[in-house]
Every structure is written in C-alpha cells, then in structure tokens.
A and B are shown apart, each in its own frame.
Chain A
Amino acid sequence: VTDAAQGTPDDPVITQSAVGSERQAPLAQTALTGLRQPIVLVLLLIAFFTSISGRVLDGILMLTVALLLALDAGKTRLRSQAGLSATAAVASGRAQAGRSGQDSRGVRRLLIGLAWLAVGVLYAVLVGTFQRYSWPVTACVISLGCLMVAIGWQGPLRQRPALTGQPLRRAWLWGVVVCAGGLWELSSLLQQPHLTTDSYAHPTISALTDPLLASHPGRSLVLGIWLWLGWFLAGR
C-alpha cells in the first residue's frame, strides 16, 4: 500500500543497515539515550496520569510503547554517534517509493478508498453497538490502535514536502493551541473531587461527551470521527 517511504534517520531501511552496532550497545545505555526524546517523556506522563485516573490498561499500553520507542530512539542515536552512513539505503528506499507512487492513482485509488470507507462505516456501526468500557469494544479499539502504531512504526505512506521557511517558524502556534487544550483539560481533571469522579463544575472532555456516547448512534458517530482522524494521520 505504501506510496512512498521517507529516508529519515530512524527508518527501517537504515535499521537493517546497522544491525551490527545495535547488538553491541548496552540495553540500559540505549534506553537512557532514548528517554531524552520529548515524545517519550510525553508518553510516560500520559501513562502516569492515565494509570492514576483508574485506566491501568491504557497506562500499561502507553508505557509499553514509550519504552519501545525509547529503545528504538536510543539505538538510532547511538548509531548516528557511531557515524554509520545509510545514504545508499535511503536512496534505494526513495527510488522504490517513486516507482510505487505511480501505481496507486486514478480509478484503483478511488475504489480502494471506497472499500476502506465501507469498512470504516461497518466498524463504526458494529463496534458502536457495544457498551462503552465493555470487553468487546475494548478488544476492537485496542486491536485497531495496535495496528495503527504498527503502521506508524513502518514508515510514512506518502512522501510529503518538508515544512520550511516562515510556515516552519510559525508551527509553534499549533503547539500553543494543543498545549492550551491539554492544560485546560488537566486543570479540570485536577479540580474534580477525585481523579475517577466527574465534576459538574469542572467537566473534562470525556465527562462532557458522556451523554453523546451513551447512545448507539452517538458512539458510532464518535468512532467514525476517530477512524477518519486515523485515516488522515495514516496518510501523513
């Protein structure tokens, strides 16, 4: 399905080219190096706050991915410190990407898109029939989440132009919006009588969406939006 691969320093093509040095790096040193990645720290914080909010399963999953990512990022950094070059592998990956990108156009692409849309609608309608926090819905959501993480681990589905110049310098504006939303949600969470008890005066987003998610159409709608967002991200 891959239209293009991108030759970033932590992509699989490079990983395969430097297996030898990974085996020599101590696990603890690798993990500590990876822990310096901001995204790993963010995931660890999410794991912590999710766990103390009573969602231990979510917390364990976040923690697992954070540790795997820390190990992977640590290996990448240690490889780059060792001065390994993977230019040839990257070039090979890009050439392959260009060839495969021409195949998935036109009618075939439209049909595949429609098929995925049908699968998505079916998933949203079927999974929406289950009650929230039940085992069937938990299994369906976890399966899809793991699949998405696996897709993300493989590499981008399409090659996109890099952000440069003034747009790049103003990307922080989005950071402000996301942080403001996150901090507002966190402040509501901390003002609840208990972390696992909702507050009417200081509702979190999940508390506000409870009435919508109580019905089958509401759950299917939210699942559909979640799937669309996943589709949007998978195409990045």
Chain B
Amino acid sequence: MRSHYLTVAGYLLVLAAGVTLQTVAVKRPDKVPSLGRVLSHVMRTRTGRVGVCVAWAWVGLHFFAK
C-alpha cells in the first residue's frame, strides 16, 4: 500500500515540476522556455519532428492498440 502511494506521488511530483516550469516560462519567457517553444526547437529538423510525432503515436498505440 505504501509503495503504491509512493509511486503515485512520484508521478505527481514530475507532473507538478512540469506545471511549475511551464508557469515560470509563461511569466518569464526571456529566462525559461515554455514546453511549446522547446518542442518547436526540437522539431526544427526532420529527425526531431518525426521523433516527436512517433512518440505521440506511440502514446496512442500504448493505451489503445493491440
């Protein structure tokens, strides 16, 4: 039971870190990039674009496909 909550807390901590970082990025765009800007940067090249698109497709496959 304790391990279950600890594991869930770990996921929530990562989520909270992402939300905090995005909030800081929105308030101070000159200091920290938002997730959207980082993704745009990564997706400048075909390799980056396809990599991110595949990661997105994989999420759908993982949760729904055989």
Contacts and interface: CB of A to CB of B under 8 A. Distances in A.
The answer to whether A binds B is yes
Contacts, number: 190
A190 interface: no
Contacts of A46: 55, 58
Interface string A124-149: 00010000111101100110111011
B46 A72 contact: yes
Interface range on chain A (Cβ under 8 Å from partner): 35 or more
Interface in B15-66: 15, 17-18, 21, 29-33, 35-41, 43-66
Contact of B40 (A134, A153, A160): A160
Interface of B: 1, 3-4, 7-8, 10-11, 14-15, 17-18, 21, 29-33, 35-41, 43-66
Interface of A: 6, 8-11, 37, 39-40, 42-43, 46, 50, 55, 57-58, 61-62, 65, 69, 72-73, 76, 127, 132-135, 137-138, 141-142, 144-146, 148-149, 151-153, 155-156, 160, 162-163, 165-168, 170-171, 173-174, 177, 180-181, 184-185, 188, 200-203, 205-206, 208-209, 213, 219, 222-223, 226, 229-230, 232-233, 236
